[in-house]
Amino acid sequence: MRTPPRSTPAARKKRGYSREFTPQTTRRVRFTIDRIPPTLWDRVTVKARREGVSLRALTLRLLRDWADDEMTI
């Protein structure tokens, strides 16, 4: 009996880089989050894969919506 091929990074469908947030300057900002609860991170990554959303685009939308007062915390 043959075993099914394993999912490798090269075999997975690659999500496109969001052009919604193309920088208009050469200035770049790097943001790092640590100590994310593992169960929350697992749920987020599973949903992002299922819906074909990059985590970069998701994070930038959240930041934009909050800065534009479209959401509150």
Q: What is the pTM of this model?
A: 0.68
The C-alpha atoms of residue 43 and residue 63 are separated, in whole angstroms, by: 20
Tell me how far CA of residue 12 lies from CA of 3, 4, 42, in angstroms: 18, 14, 17
Q: Residue 41: is its pLDDT beyond 60?
A: yes
- Reported as half-sphere exposure (CB side, CA atoms, 13 A), residue 54 has a value of 12
Q: Mean pLDDT over residues 7-17, rounded?
A: 59
Dihedral Cα 73, 70, 61, 55, nearest 10 deg: 30
19 and 29 Cβ atoms separated by less than 8 Å: no
Q: Residue 4: is its pLDDT beyond 60?
A: no
